[in-house]
Structure 1
């Protein structure tokens, strides 16, 4: 389906934007490594995401299958947790990764997401998702969140299926070309500075940076809005966009 170039559109990142990605991370570390309550889970999670993005970039985009994918997933845990005095063997990193993966389908949307998407659609916004990762893995999460009840599958774009990986502007351009939208009428909401803020801004989109982990910008890019929760996101989208 294509739309008018004048149509306003809102697209969301998936991981740690529509649901709390920290929960499966924390549970995996607790179960496999017996980390304690006072372990800095949020800081470690942020570093894991950082290394995941950095390693993916070195490989030219998020790998979607094979040994490259498995090695990247192990290394991101080893590199991140080493900063917190946890030296993981390859076997331990694999065990953490497998537990983390198994927990990613027992997830739920952040409070306010369903209501916001419903309100946006009622106001004639196009609503979609743009996410990095292997198609089957990401779609399993999308199904677990029941997002396809809210968003048509042809408005859900997964990097592994498209062939371009955020922050590559070609992924965002693919979305606007596929749906007949104008970049200046598209807004993207995401938590990752590198993937979401940089990628969408460079593609000419409006950007809401969902910085609910209170992390530091990595470049001079200027998102249009900085938001830390869904009440703020809702207010910006429904009152200012």
Structure 2
């Protein structure tokens, strides 16, 4: 995938790309919804995708990630996404129950374990001379806590840890990716983006002219006519694309 004499950049999404974002969601649902009814056969992955959808839509209505630092409106949005999501699966949460679910979710969200092979791949890409960075949607302090929990500062300089709430643009806005190119003095043709979200990652990076690797480890459906260059389901597959 490398081209001689070209500055090569590879940026990664964070949530559910570098680590399993489903784990804190599942724990929160089990803790609060479990006593309300049977969770036997509950489609956690499908519900997780719906939570991501409602989170994106409610965040945009609130003003995007730039407005998503701590505050009453942000907290209300985060609680409402749980009510909307669980309602789709037969659980009508009260305000108190939705607040408890949000609290449980945040309570374990920074207990993060990278996907198997993720750190080894990042380390090898850095050794090979790739310009490695992150592009993630979210409030700056919230996302920074996750990055610190994964101990990524030692691999990726902070100036290449791009958080939408600090930039003022949310993925899929192509300006996020254009900014990454300007920051690293790279061209879209020599830039790769790895992410799990079709809506934010595939569409955003593709429309910015980047090579897109869809990390589709949950078997999600395509949502548009955009075409990723590669589709992988694990970091072992991803490693094979770069390391020979």
TM-score (norm 1): 0.92
Do 2:126 and 2:155's aligned partners in 1 also have CA atoms closer than 8 Å? no
Q: Alignment partner of 2:153: what SS?
A: helix
Find out whether 1:114 has 2:119 as its counterpart.
Answer: yes
For residues 170-222 of structure 1, give each alpha carbon's deviation from its aligned partner in whole angstroms, at most 9, with x where no partner exists. 11111111221111111000001111001111111110001111111111111
CA-atom RMSD in angstroms: 1.5
Shift of 1:58: 3.5
Q: For 1:1-241, list aligned pairs within 5 A.
A: 6-34=6-34, 36-62=39-65, 63-65=67-69, 66-239=71-244
Stretches of structure 1 lacking an aligned partner (at least 5 in a row): none
State the shift of 1:160 in Å.
Answer: 0.9
Superposed CA offset, 1:67-94 (max 9, x none): 3322221222111111110111222212
Partners of 1:149 and 1:72 in 2: CA distance:
33
Aligned-pair CA distance for 1:47:
1.0
- Secondary structure of 1:128's counterpart equals strand
Shift of 1:37: 5.0
8 Å CA contact 2:143–2:163 kept in 1: the answer is: yes
Q: How many pairs does the alignment contain? A: 235
Q: 1: distance between equivalents of 2:118 and 2:232?
A: 14
Indicate the SS of the match to 1:149. coil
Q: How far, CA to CA, are the matches of 1:137 and 1:100 in structure 2? A: 13
User: Alignment partner of 1:188: what SS?
Assistant: strand
- The CA deviation at 1:60 is 4.3
**Aligned-residue offset at 1:95:** 1.3
For residues 32 and 94 of structure 1, the distance between their equivalents in structure 2, rounded to whole angstroms, comes to 10
